[in-house]
Structure 1
Amino acid sequence: MTPVAFRHRLAERGIDAQLLLLGPAAVFVAALFVYPFCYGIAVSLQPVEGGPFAAYQAFFRDAYQRDTIATTLRIALPAALLNVLASVPIAYRMRGRFRGKRVLTTVLVVPITLGTVLTAEGLLNFLGPTGWFNRVLLALGVVDAPVTLTHNYWGVFLSLVITGFPFAFLLVSSYLSGIDPSLEKAGAVLGAGWAQRFFRITLPLLAPGLATTFCLTFVLAFSVFPSAILVGDPSGTTRVISIAAYEAAYVRYDYAGGAAAAIIMGLVELVVIGVVLGLRSLLYTGSTAGGKG
């Protein structure tokens, strides 16, 4: 059968031949995401002792394991929110053309190329008890003792902000570039000030993109592991769920427990993403209904 005849055959059955181009992508997703996820579920349901859900029951019965969910959320949610909020005014001001824009953009996105390990090492040298930041404060007489900004919550939080901001900035910039600037110009012609143009024109159009940016940035922050160990307190205030999964699988050799912690981690992420996207749809529907009224 010739390619033309094959396309006609598909068209007769109501199938778009261009959908076949999704085949390689579908195979890629299945091989790298679907299969590992299904394999992880299968491993979590095969504990050494107990029934198929024994690993999940053990996780939620143990407060030391269960509390890692709240600990991770306390770190990831504020970090993702700060990255998105900080990226909006900077990306908004950098929409136009000006001298040095490429250099400034490069400076802003450089941390994304460093990785979490190198960033954590830099924070230890800069914000540690004997780092530059504390030495300057002590030399100026601002403080009498070094400020503790590492090996605690703040060390992990700052690490996530540094590594996550470039990601959020690039996404917000791309969404802003898709908004027609003539809309704001029309608002200016009608007498709208800068704040009115931003909050009534740009921000509503940017809101769906901000929700997506928050979801992606949150997933990046929720999977924190190196920072929680290098600049955090891995056995206390920054014992995140990824550490619990690692310890179960590679310290206690409880592969079912490690897989269960990883599956729980993914489910929590899906719940947060579902809530954010649900709120986005609700706000978008509400704004549309308000506009029609």
Structure 2
Amino acid sequence: MSAAPGRRRERGSASLRHRLAERGIDTGLLLLVPAVVFAVALFIYPFFYGLGLTVQPTALTQQRWGGGIFANYVAFFRDPFIFDSVWITMRLALPVALFNVLAAVPVAFKLRHRFRGKRFLQTLLVLPIALGTVLTAQGLLIFAGRQGWLNRFLVDVGLVGEPVQLVMNYTGVFLSLVISGFPFAFLLISSYLSGIDPALEAAATTLGASWFQRFRRVILPLLAPGLATTFILTFVLAFSVFPSARLVGDAGGSTRVMALMAYRAFGEQIDYPMASTIAVMMGVVELVVIALVLLWRATLYKGTTGGKG
């Protein structure tokens, strides 16, 4: 008689496991524990800790700007030296992202076909990934600085009377961001293009569609998810620029980006709440741009995301 309750408990446990499994809950979820711990330790906790700092302004900030616990946000929007960094950063990030996407599309189209030297050219295009932003900035200083190879050549051949200012300004940071961001744009768009069936373009050609019509009506709608993803990635990389703006830019003027302002508050003024506020506002601006890009993608293409990217 004692065995009957034991069997009932086993059946009850099996039934419970079965019901949980139907809801997607099983022991396999334990595999997610390391990922959850990693996310909490390195992202969620630091995020909420930094968000909490933003509502703990220093006494000096409260005295100068008012606003109580929101004094840091009041200071961010009312201090022109800080708030203008938003537009300065956007003036860099948006053109860089747009240029990288527009430049990567024709290059990726060309490299879809087989030709001699294709692999060598692909290697050259993705090589800047291995260099990093610091080495890229150093290379720009050596090559395009006032005493660099390019300026010496231009002066020697008589094309310019004095060295051209290509670094330590907006142009230097723009070039650095293009060099470091283009490989990512090229790889992503190439991946999405490889997932578009060539038969679709061939069918459009058979029906008499011109190259522009094929691109506008067939390729572009299918490539829209890839373009949106690529733009978002390159924009985020450019928006968070720090080394380039400091090494080959004008850190106090035309390239006074938000990351530099956060570093200035953190490392020079020892104002951790203000540094956290700037970081939070960086995230807000990025999310707004990302939302607009995804909205554009939704209006252009409503199917599933294609390609392999």
State TM-score, norm by structure 2.
0.86
Q: CA deviation at 1:19?
A: 8.1
**1:222 aligned partner:** 239
Distance 1:189 1:6, change over 3 A: farther
**2:126 aligned partner:** 109
For residues 120 and 174 of structure 1, the distance between their equivalents in structure 2, rounded to whole angstroms, comes to 28
Task: Please identify, of 69-78 and 270-279, the stretch whose mean Cα deviation from structure 2 is larger.
Answer: 270-279
Distance 1:181 1:265, change over 3 A: same
Which amino acid in the other structure matches residue 276 of structure 1?
V
Which amino acid in the other structure matches residue 270 of structure 1?
L
**1:29 aligned partner:** 39
Q: 1:41 aligns with which of 30, 51, 54?
A: 51
For residues 212 and 28 of structure 1, the distance between their equivalents in structure 2, rounded to whole angstroms, comes to 25
For residues 205 and 153 of structure 2, the distance between their equivalents in structure 1, rounded to whole angstroms, comes to 47
Aligned residue for 2:159, secondary structure, equals coil
C-alpha RMSD over aligned residues: 2.3
Aligned residue for 1:53, secondary structure, equals helix
**2:138 aligned partner:** 121
Q: CA deviation at 1:139?
A: 1.2
For residues 28 and 236 of structure 2, the distance between their equivalents in structure 1, rounded to whole angstroms, comes to 29
1:98 to 2:82 alignment: no
For residues 86 and 37 of structure 1, the distance between their equivalents in structure 2, rounded to whole angstroms, comes to 35
Distance 1:172 1:256, change over 3 A: same
Kindly provide the CA deviation profile for residues 239-274 of structure 1, in whole angstroms up to 9, marking residues without a partner as x: 101010001011010000111111111111111111
Kindly provide the CA deviation profile for residues 169-205 of structure 1, in whole angstroms up to 9, marking residues without a partner as x: 1111111111111111222222323332222211111
Distance 1:204 1:149, change over 3 A: same
Distance 1:207 1:130, change over 3 A: same
1:162 to 2:179 alignment: yes
Unaligned runs of 5+ in 2: 1-9, 63-67, 305-309
Distance 1:209 1:26, change over 3 A: farther
State TM-score, norm by structure 1.
0.90
Q: CA deviation at 1:26?
A: 4.0
1:178 to 2:195 alignment: yes
**1:8 aligned partner:** 18
For residues 291 and 138 of structure 2, the distance between their equivalents in structure 1, rounded to whole angstroms, comes to 34
Distance 1:225 1:196, change over 3 A: same
Distance 1:6 1:149, change over 3 A: farther
Aligned residue for 1:126, secondary structure, equals helix
For residues 257 and 127 of structure 1, the distance between their equivalents in structure 2, rounded to whole angstroms, comes to 36
Which amino acid in the other structure matches residue 202 of structure 1?
I
For residues 203 and 93 of structure 2, the distance between their equivalents in structure 1, rounded to whole angstroms, comes to 39
Q: 2:220 aligns with which of 196, 203, 206?
A: 203
Kindly provide the CA deviation profile for residues 101-135 of structure 1, in whole angstroms up to 9, marking residues without a partner as x: 22211110000111111100100111111111111
For residues 175 and 6 of structure 1, the distance between their equivalents in structure 2, rounded to whole angstroms, comes to 44
Q: Between Structure 1 and Structure 2, how many residues are aligned?
A: 286
Q: 1:78 aligns with which of 59, 76, 95?
A: 95
1:55 to 2:72 alignment: yes
**1:283 aligned partner:** 300
Task: Please identify, of 119-128 and 89-98, the stretch whose mean Cα deviation from structure 2 is larger.
Answer: 89-98
Q: Is the 8 A contact 2:221 2:300 kept in 1?
A: no
Q: 1:151 aligns with which of 155, 168, 190?
A: 168
**1:291 aligned partner:** none
Q: 2:272 aligns with which of 248, 252, 255?
A: 255
Q: CA deviation at 1:31?
A: 3.0
Which amino acid in the other structure matches residue 222 of structure 2?
L
Which amino acid in the other structure matches residue 37 of structure 1?
F
Distance 1:282 1:199, change over 3 A: closer
Q: 1:131 aligns with which of 148, 166, 188?
A: 148
For residues 177 and 18 of structure 1, the distance between their equivalents in structure 2, rounded to whole angstroms, comes to 38
Distance 1:39 1:87, change over 3 A: same
Task: Please identify, of 188-197 and 125-134, the stretch whose mean Cα deviation from structure 2 is larger.
Answer: 188-197
